[in-house]
Amino acid sequence: MECEEGAARRRLPGIFLPAAYRFSTRRLPWGLVAALMLGLWLAGVTAARAEDGFRHPSYIVVDASSGQVLNEFRADAIRYPASLTKLMTLYLAFEALRDRRISFETRIPMTTEAASVEPVKLGLPPGATISVHEAILAMVTLSANDVATALGQYLGGGSIPRFAEMMTLRAHALGMTNTSFENPSGLPAAGQVTTARDIAILARRLIIDFPDQYHWFSTRRFLFRGRWIVSDDNLLKAYPGADGMKTGYTYAAGHNLVTSAAHGDVRLIGVVLGTQTIPQVDGEMMALLNEGFAEESAPAAGPEIAERGPLHGLIPVAQAAPMETDSMEMAPPVPAPAAEPPDPADSWGVQVAAYASENMAVYVSGLGARILGTGRAVVERAYLYGKPVWRARIVDLSAAEAHVACPALARRKLPCWLLPPSRNGEVASR
């Protein structure tokens, strides 16, 4: 594998310009030509390294107390952080709270730029304000991009580029030498890259530097102006001892996850970057944590997990028993689900859309479930004209919930139609 990776690094991406964009270099100074070519080459190398990482997920597990690495694979591969970026935005917010530059009651204005970002957002209009307290909750649960953008602008004196520079400087000061940021939300940007090792450093420093703020990451839901905002971090429910931190997804990054969990006196931090599905990233993380706690001789409290392959993910994971935690006084515990899943004969659902990409269907179904605050996001494989398509659905709804779901999704400009109980069948994945 080391030889294969070395060969991949030596294969430099070529530069090709369509005919419409070709030009003669004879009229340009050689120094300018060299600079242009070097810039194009470096951009190509960054994209190629990130794309190579997507084909081979990377991970690392560290002891939160000592920083000792217990397990790693491609931990220094360049990756896109997606919404894991918000961990650094929160780090700088916690610094500002500690230094009393802001308070939990400070009102953050929703600028036009912040209100226009897509797709996961609270949806506040330009000119509205949100407290720092609410902003933190919106970022750790919904991963709201509009709120992260507004908070970054506020802390950066009104400038996103300035805040991004602050993020990058702080990352390098923490030892995250392979990380750079271009925005506070994690929305796609070519130069916004990181590694599993760097994200583990950031997660560990959040725990060590701000022990009084870490509890935010265990929030499973909170009430925001009359509606429940629900976390999409499945390990908070599925893995005993897990009490944070963050999920992330973009098409280029794949599914990313950072989890901190404690068994007895041992706390571990796991980072998994670039898996293709939610079940894969969740299962990979649970298996890695189980292995780590076993190595540390911690009390065995994790669920039973199938064996991991040598490189990627899992072959299907056993269903873990849900764990109930009271993370905050304003976030009452979610009632434990029934021992048996709802009978499909009595369960309603809605379909949001169908896609040629499974990743997109997984993303949209999860987005719809977060908007509704109820139901279960699933993806069902079907065939159209002999080609596979992936249906993004939200199931396990009551009849009343299903009939109000489509108007709620329509307000967020998402298509929707009802699925009566007879049309809820088996699903391929979430």
The set of catalytic residues is 83, 86, 143
Count Cβ atoms below 10 Å from residue 9 Cβ, excluding itself. 12
Q: Count how many residues are written for the chain.
A: 430
Burial of 239 (0-12, 13-18, 19+ CB in 10 A): buried
- The runs of H, that is alpha helices, within 231-277 are 235-238
Of 217, 213, 218, which is closest to residue 325 (Cα–Cα)? 218
Burial of 197 (0-12, 13-18, 19+ CB in 10 A): buried
Could you tell me how many helices (H) and strands (E) the chain has, helices first? 12, 13
User: What pairs with residue 346 in β-bridges?
Assistant: none
CA distance 242 to 56: 25
Packed helices 145-155 and 132-140: angle between N→C axes, nearest 10 degrees: 140
Match 């434990």 to its residue by tokens.
336
Q: Cα dist. 82→195, 225, 256, 286, 288 in Å?
A: 12, 27, 8, 21, 21
CA distance 84 to 250: 11
Contact indicator for 89, 148 with CB cutoff of 8 Å:
yes
Contact indicator for 178, 195 with CB cutoff of 8 Å:
yes
Count Cβ atoms below 10 Å from residue 209 Cβ, excluding itself. 14
Extract the tokens encoding 200.
């583990």
Residue 22 is given by DSSP the state -
User: What pairs with residue 268 in β-bridges?
Assistant: 63, 261
Match 């209100």 to its residue by tokens.
115
Verify cis geometry, omega within 30 degrees of 0, for the bond prior to 119.
yes
Contact indicator for 196, 270 with CB cutoff of 8 Å:
no
Instruction: State the virtual CA torsion across 357, 358, 364, 367 in degrees, nearest 10.
Output: -150
